[in-house]
Amino acid sequence: MSYPRRKFRYICLVIIALWFGDTAQAESAVASAHPAATLAGKEILEAGGNAFDAAIAVAAALAVVEPYSSGIGGGGFFLLHSQREGTNLFVDAREEAPGKATADMYLDSSGDFVRDRSLNGPLAAAIPGLPAGLVYLSENFANLTLQENLMPAIRLAKEGFLTGDRYEKMAGYRASALRLHKDAAKIFLDQGDVPKAGFRVIQEDLAETLQAIAVSNGESFYSGDLARKMVDSVVSKGGIWRIEDLKNYEVKIRQPLISSYHDVKIISSPPPSSGGIALIEALNILERYDLKKYERDTYIHLVVEAMRRAYRDRADYLGDPDFVKVPLKKLSSKMHADLLASSISDTEATSSSSLPQIGSRQKGADTTHFSIVDGLGNRVAATLSINIPFGAAITAEGTGVLLNNEMDDFSAKPFTPNTYGLVGADANAIAPRKRPLSSMTPTFLEGTDRIAVMGTPGGSRIISMVLISALDFMMGAGPIEMVSSKRFHHQYLPDQIYFEKDGLTSSEQESLSKKGHKLKESGRNYGNMQVIVIDKADGSIDAASDPRGEGSSLVW
């Protein structure tokens, strides 16, 4: 691709930014969960695009090459920093419940929750937000056209990509659900079998869908031919989508949550994500301790106690802010943290059941993340999802659009856990056009000398992963250490520390058990974090992709 005029403008902008910017910034970086998506971002940046153009290209490429993680039939959050304006913005392209959704739609006649309905097939799918998110970025922030930015993804869909071990694992996990839907099975399986690494996945329909989105600027997807095709397909399979649901969909532009941990500024995701608020609550609690002075076992204990309390508030208070009043000021206040911290002992675990029960106050995988920084200092942290691997395992026929199962992120019945074991109360009950509560936590950390752009998939464990790596950053860690941190997790209920394979040493396990914690080791490692760190003094950049995944990061 060659864009000589744009390239010239880009070089001028870099010179201007270097001259006037408060941080010297010239390097660019992309860290994403798939090498082909990272390369798509690099291609667009080199063609004169900025970080927002690259975000469109990377998101669309991931939708093609990581169909188990995110997609055009899903949604997500983009946290943006515009260096020229000096502003941060949060683009909420989260999926929305269809207009015919009801609070009890996943309960059977005896009032019992039927998980299969919220996870598999047409009823599980909420109205997708990602295409609208890409159009919003294109109209408001891009240097290049939507067509130019979608081109790498269109190419990958048309020519196909080769599957790896991760694809094999994810498809294996969802093979039985995919086999139930002919159209999805044809695209994502190898004649009904789980593809072995090296299999080429070609998605011609998806290439045409992306092309139609580019040409119509999203109109076809939300009110034109594609919209009709998707609704017909969903309804014919027993779903409840209507054309109005797609027509009504719009991205919501929200102010990110801002807080501080000592002298580091935290910029993170507001509701309908629970991530930013839980991260801020936990950091506010931990700010009360001189964490450096504790042995690692006590450090883990204190972090777990902070997680326990933050996740309790998540379950109790959080939901779509356009439907429920979320007391953000109170929850993010240092006074609230004082109150929460007052019941923490250095030596003994609090039992979750001794904390106020949720709902008792008066009423009042898979996913993906990428981080991008451009030579001007613009930043994007985006976490995108179709929920569990391969979403609802169903495609809208003839469009190649794999549908999400984000409806399972609602609390289908009070106190009944969702697929991540998360419980919730009324604040996250299903309602027409409501957005399900998310844990996705794209975050910027601005220290006195360094800035981190970060995030990860991982369902409910996203927040605890971001917290652990943010604390590591505060203690001087770079991107490699941040993506490699050993992971442990507590989400209030179930009342246990869940930790990844080799996440805690045996002596840490012994010490935590002695303090009264229950422990549960996962048989595997989890998370797929992508981090970029900028050195404010000289603008140099360092980036890393989680060694647990197959992603790649490039700095140039």
- State the catalytic residues: 367
3-class state of residue 360 by DSSP? coil
- Of 327, 439, 388, which is closest to residue 67 (Cα–Cα)? 388
Residues 391-420 that bind ligand DON (CB under 6 A): 406, 409
Q: If you ran DSSP here, which 8-state letter would residue 448 be given?
A: S
Nearer to ligand DON, 365 or 445 (CB): 365
The residue to which tokens 């992709």 are assigned: 545
Side chain identity at residue 55, one-letter code: A
For the CB of residue 525, give the shortest distance to ligand DON in the complex, in Å: 12
For the CB of residue 318, give the shortest distance to ligand DON in the complex, in Å: 11
Interface with ligand DON includes 366 (CB under 6 A)? yes
Give the one residue of 457, 479, 503, 539 binding ligand DON; rule: CB under 6 A.
457
Cβ-based neighbours of 189, under 8 Å, separated by 6 or more: 171, 175, 178, 179, 195
Interface with ligand DON includes 459 (CB under 6 A)? yes
Q: Partners of 373 in the beta sheet?
A: 29, 379
Of all residues in this chain, which one has the CB nearest to ligand DON in the complex? 365
Give the one residue of 149, 209, 269, 385 binding ligand DON; rule: CB under 6 A.
385
Interface with ligand DON includes 438 (CB under 6 A)? yes
For the CB of residue 131, give the shortest distance to ligand DON in the complex, in Å: 18
Instruction: Read off the tokens for 256.
Output: 């990110």
Nearer to ligand DON, 66 or 409 (CB): 409
Cβ-based neighbours of 307, under 8 Å, separated by 6 or more: 282, 463, 464, 467, 489, 490, 491, 492
For the CB of residue 28, give the shortest distance to ligand DON in the complex, in Å: 27
**Distance between CA 187 and CA 232 in Å, rounded?**
20
- For 59, 138, 193, 544, 553, the CA distances from 56, given in Å and listed in that order, are 5, 8, 32, 20, 17
Nearer to ligand DON, 375 or 442 (CB): 442
Q: How many residues does the chain have?
A: 556
For the CB of residue 222, give the shortest distance to ligand DON in the complex, in Å: 21
**Distance between CA 41 and CA 534 in Å, rounded?**
18
**Distance between CA 88 and CA 81 in Å, rounded?**
4
Nearer to ligand DON, 387 or 530 (CB): 387
533 within 8 A of 479, measured Cβ to Cβ: yes
Give the one residue of 32, 88, 149, 387 binding ligand DON; rule: CB under 6 A.
387
For the CB of residue 527, give the shortest distance to ligand DON in the complex, in Å: 8
Nearer to ligand DON, 387 or 485 (CB): 387
Interface with ligand DON includes 268 (CB under 6 A)? no
Interface with ligand DON includes 70 (CB under 6 A)? no
Interface with ligand DON includes 455 (CB under 6 A)? no
**Distance between CA 159 and CA 353 in Å, rounded?**
54
**Distance between CA 296 and CA 445 in Å, rounded?**
23
Interface with ligand DON includes 367 (CB under 6 A)? yes
Stretches 246-254, 311-319, 458-466, 492-500: which one binds ligand DON (CB under 6 A)? 458-466
Nearer to ligand DON, 298 or 441 (CB): 441
Interface with ligand DON includes 458 (CB under 6 A)? yes
Taking each helix axis from N to C end, the angle separating 204-216 and 130-141, rounded to the nearest 10 degrees, works out to 40
Give the one residue of 143, 220, 332, 439 binding ligand DON; rule: CB under 6 A.
439
3-class state of residue 400 by DSSP? coil
Nearer to ligand DON, 10 or 526 (CB): 526
Stretches 147-155, 410-418, 433-441, 503-511: which one binds ligand DON (CB under 6 A)? 433-441
Stretches 213-221, 362-370, 472-480, 532-540: which one binds ligand DON (CB under 6 A)? 362-370
Give the one residue of 440, 531, 532, 544 binding ligand DON; rule: CB under 6 A.
440
Nearer to ligand DON, 243 or 431 (CB): 431
Cβ-based neighbours of 230, under 8 Å, separated by 6 or more: 221, 241, 246, 396, 399, 401
For the CB of residue 365, give the shortest distance to ligand DON in the complex, in Å: 3
Instruction: Read off the tokens for 22.
Output: 């408060």
**Residues that contact ligand DON, how many (by CB under 6 A):** 14
**Distance between CA 441 and CA 77 in Å, rounded?**
8
Residues 462-481 that bind ligand DON (CB under 6 A): 462
For the CB of residue 378, give the shortest distance to ligand DON in the complex, in Å: 25
| H or E stretch at 443 | strand 443-446
Stretches 257-265, 372-380, 426-434, 453-461: which one binds ligand DON (CB under 6 A)? 453-461
The set of long-range contacts for 321-329, using a CB threshold of 8 Å and a minimum separation of 24, is: 321/270, 321/271, 321/272, 322/252, 322/434, 322/435, 323/431, 323/434, 324/426, 324/427, 325/364, 326/271, 326/277, 326/427, 327/364, 328/257, 328/270, 328/271, 328/277
Interface with ligand DON includes 67 (CB under 6 A)? no
Side chain identity at residue 217, one-letter code: N
For the CB of residue 425, give the shortest distance to ligand DON in the complex, in Å: 17
Residues making contact with ligand DON (CB under 6 A) = 365-367, 385, 387, 406, 409, 438-440, 457-459, 462
